[in-house]
Amino acid sequence: MVTGQGNGQGGREHGQKCDQLPGQRSISDPAAREHVAKVWGIRPDEIPQAGLSAVEIMEAIHRGEIKALLSICFNPLVSLPDANYVREALSKLEFFGVVDFFLSETAHHADVVLAGSLQEEEEGVVGSAEGRVIHIRKAVDPPGNAWTDTKIYLELARRLGKEKYFPFRSNREIFDELREASRGGVADYSGITYEKIDRQMGVFWPCPDVPGGDHPGTPRLFEGGRFFHPDGKARFVVTEWRESGDPLADDFPILLTTGRVVSQYLSGTQTRRIGPLVDQFPEPRVEIHPRLAEQHGITNGDKVTVTTRRDAITLPALVVRTIRPDTVFIAYHWPGNRSANKLTHRTLDPRSKIPEFKVSACRIERAPGLRVVG
Amino acid sequence: MFGYEFYIDPERCIGCQACINACAECDTHRGVPMITVDYLDRANSIATVPAICMHCDDPTCAEVCPADAIKKGEDGVVQSALKPRCVACNNCVLACPFGIPKMMTKLELMMKCDMCYDRTSVGKRPMCATVCPSQALAYVPPERIARERREKPTNVFQFGTETVTTKVFMMVPPGETMIAVDVVDFMWEPPLETMP
């Protein structure tokens, strides 16, 4: 799987996804639990079992199973499907804490917001999409009363009485613990040091800690022709087709797919605040093929209402031949009445738990209002 | 300069406009980018193309300037118009085969890309090339382009019967040696169905 986010890969290797442990280990693997518990100085049974994915968390809040949530640099009100359902979940919480660098739409629902830091404001390492560990240097201090994220979590641990497990004096010490925790795993970081990262312009995992410490990392996996399966072979995985959780019907005959535009990043918490990026793409447009547009009497710039089984939003049309005639596209970076995720649905891929952002059923109609020029 | 050449490969451009923002941060023309990025034909394609000054060997802009305001140095860089000389006549704007010079009406001054002269003259890379994530704008040694790219660089442009050679290179498919543009190919004509 190729990931799109900064450190999306690095986080995935070390337990940001809560069915994992560091080193790309499974949280349900007894040997992995024992190894990581030893590094962390706890008993294996103190490590929880697999948690819930993001959409499942919202569903558990609705069921009353989750009453308090601490959200870190996460804007589910924009980035998760079925935004109205997410909003209801956030307002059901008895306590909602948010750590973020700007006040996101989600943070508006919080009881407590802790001002965190941007990547430019804190030193550390990230893992890129190509499996390369990169050193990010701090360029500026967090402004005002904002703290680095590390400082926030160390202080949180102290107030919860767990400071003996978090004795770190620097981010490098945290990375050194991560190296130990990943030792022997698929994503083995144990041989990666700050010095090696700087010297080699990044280090690709696995990079085991061999005697002499001179393992250069692994720029390309499987070069020896041996794969991770026990027999050493690679396998094609046959995926069985199944109907979307939001199937086409007479009253919803058109496919809606969502995605990104080049000038906006993720839920836009950063990029919707940067003037030139907003100028480049001020608002989402509904991309429609001329053939579909003609059927509905829509011309470029007309306001179009897109309706799904969840909700309806109205946006200007972008009539282009770069989209299929049976499909419309809306970028998802915006909140409120411009939010594409008001329209999407919560059906998850059973294995990866990724929502069906790319397939919803909708209908379109020309809406009254002035045409957008340009 | 310093063993580096400028290469443009529009096929690599993803339209992110990082080059525009980086250019506009320059202290010599803060807030005013000297590079453009345009959709060629958004109704039919997502293709975008960046345009910088090509720094012609025999610059038409300088040839047509009545005030001798546009200078080309020994290093091949064609400078932006000199403020004390420019009379804002627009000759260069109209004459440039690549459509690069822009008239800043309020300043009564033509301004254009000077390949970040403050940077490239001391061995640094132009702002746009330093930020281009796909290296559609690349300022690198020729050996590196030869090693890393399938496409080949050309700096020969044929406009009708006129041949223009430039300091900046454009990447073309292997086998091509020049870029030929016949203006007739780009003249507007009514769609076929509306013709009598």
Residues 6+ apart with CB under 8 A from A328: A254, A255, A256, A257, A286, A287, A288, A292, A306, A362, A364
Contact B114, B80 (CB under 8 A): yes
A200 and A278 housed in the same domain? no
**pLDDT score recorded for residue B187:** 81
Amino acid A92 reads K
Task: Calculate how close chain A gets to B144, using CA atoms only, in Å.
Answer: 18
Q: Tokens at residue B28, please? A: 């010599």
Domain boundary among the residues A204, A228, A243 is at A204
> Cβ of B21 and A276 within 8 Å?
yes
Do residues A180 and A37 both lie within one domain?
yes
Amino acid at site A126: V
Q: Which residue of A has its CA nearest to B37?
A: A280
Q: Inter-axis angle of helices A54-62 and A83-92, to 10 degrees? A: 60
| Closest CA in chain A for residue B38 | A280
User: B17 vs A319: CB contact, 8 Å cut-off?
Assistant: no
pLDDT in tens, B58-106: 999 999 999 999 999 999 999 999 999 999 999 999 999 999 999 999 9
Domains identified in chain A, total number:
2
Instruction: Please judge whether A280 and B17 are an interchain contact, meaning their C-beta atoms are less than 8 angstroms apart.
Output: yes
Please work out, in degrees rounded to the nearest 5, the angle formed at the alpha carbon of residue A154 by the alpha carbons of A204 and A50: 65
| Same domain (yes/no): A200, A260 | no
User: Is B126 a residue whose pLDDT tops 90?
Assistant: yes
Q: Which of A280, A300, A322 sits opposite B46 (nearest CB)?
A: A322
Q: Is B24 on the interface with A (CB under 8 A)?
A: yes
Chain centroid to CA B180: 16
Q: Which CATH number fits the domain that encloses residue A157?
A: 3.40.50.740
Please check the confidence at residue B196 and state whether its pLDDT lies above 70: no
Determine which of B12, B13, B16 to mutate to test the interface with A (most A C-beta atoms within 10 Å): B16
- Which residue on chain B is closest to A279 by alpha carbon? B17
Q: Please give the pLDDT value at position A373.
A: 72
**Is A116 within the bounds of a domain?**
yes
Q: Which of A279, A281, A320 to mutate to test the interface with B (most CBs of B within 10 A)?
A: A320
**pLDDT for res A2:** 61
Q: Tell whether A247 is covered by a domain.
A: no
Residues sharing a CB contact under 8 Å with residue A238, sequence separation 6 or more, in sequence order: none
Is pLDDT at B195 greater than 60 in this prediction? no
d(CA A291, CA A325): 6
CB < 8 Å to B45, chain A: 321-322
Quick check: is B195 in a domain? no
Closest among B28, B37, B137, B154 to B79, alpha carbons compared? B28
Say yes or no for a CB contact (<8 Å) between B43 and A276: no
Q: Is the residue at A214 inside a domain?
A: no
Q: A266 and A194 share a domain? A: no
Which chain B residues contact residue A318 at CB under 8 A?
42
pTM of the model: 0.90
Query: What would the pLDDT profile of B131-165 be if each residue is shown by its tens digit?
Result: 999 999 999 999 999 999 999 999 999 998 899 99
Q: What value does the mean pLDDT of chain B take?
A: 94
> Which domain, by its residues, includes B64?
55-112
Q: Is residue B74 part of a domain?
A: yes
**Contact state of A263 with B17 under an 8 Å Cβ cutoff:** yes
* Structural domain range at position A121: 8-204
CA distance B34 to chain A (A): 15
In a domain, B20, yes or no: no
Residue type, A107: A
| DSSP annotation string for A256-287 | EEEE--TT--TT-TTGGG-HHHHHHS-S--EE
Is A304 in a helix, a strand, or coil?
Answer: strand
Q: For B12-42, what is each residue's pLDDT tens digit?
A: 999 999 999 999 999 889 999 999 999 999 9
The structural domain count of chain B equals 1
d(CA B120, CA A212): 43
Question: DSSP string spanning B79-130?
Answer: PPPPTTT-----HHHHH-TT---EEEGGGTEEE---S-HHHHTTTPPPHHHH
Query: Residue B13 domain-assigned?
Result: no
Closest-CA residue in chain A for B42?
Answer: A320
Element (H, E) at A30: helix A30-40
Residue A68, strand partner residues: A95
pLDDT of A10 reads: 87
Interatomic CA distance for residues A43 and B150, integer angstroms = 56
Choose one of A204, A231, A246: the last residue of a domain.
Answer: A204
Chain B residue numbers touching A276 (CB-CB < 8 A) = 17, 20-21, 24
CA–CA dist B20, B50 (Å, integer):
9
What residue has token string 């690349």?
B138
pLDDT value, residue B182: 82
Which residues on B lie below 8 Å from A262 (Cβ)? Answer: 14-17
Q: Is residue B73 assigned to a domain?
A: yes
When CB atoms are compared, the residue of B15, B43, B45 closest to A319 is B43
Indicate whether A200 and A261 sit together in one domain.
Answer: no
Q: Which residues of A touch B (CB under 8 A)?
A: 262-263, 276, 280, 290, 300, 318-322
Which positions in chain B touch A290 (Cβ < 8 Å)? 43
In this structure, the answer to whether residues A38 and A175 fall within a common structural domain is yes
Written as one letter, the residue type at A93 is L
Interface of B with A in 39-78 (CB under 8 A): 42-46
**Which residues in B81-92 are b (16+ Cβ under 10 Å) and which e?**
beeeebebbebb
B17–chain A Cβ distance below 8 A for any pair: yes
Residue A372 lies inside a defined structural domain of this protein: no
Å between B45 CA and nearest CA of chain A: 6
CATH number, residue B92: 3.30.70.20
**pLDDT score, position A15:** 83
Instruction: Give me the phi and psi of B8, to 5 degrees please.
Output: -115, 130
Question: Same domain, yes or no, for A186 and A260?
Answer: no
Point out the residue among B14, B20, B43 whose CB comes nearest to the CB of A321.
B43
Place of tokens 């990082």: B18
In a domain, B76, yes or no: yes
| Structure confidence at residue A374 (pLDDT) | 62
- Assigned domain for B67 exists: yes
pLDDT tens, N- to C-terminus, chain A (374 residues): 566 677 888 888 888 888 999 999 999 999 999 999 999 999 999 999 999 999 999 999 999 999 999 999 999 999 999 999 999 999 999 999 999 999 999 999 999 999 999 999 999 999 998 899 999 999 999 999 999 999 999 999 999 999 999 999 999 999 999 999 999 999 999 999 999 999 999 999 999 999 988 999 999 999 989 998 999 999 998 988 999 999 999 999 999 999 999 999 999 999 999 999 999 999 999 999 999 999 999 999 999 999 999 999 999 999 999 999 999 999 999 999 999 999 999 999 988 899 999 999 999 999 988 777 76
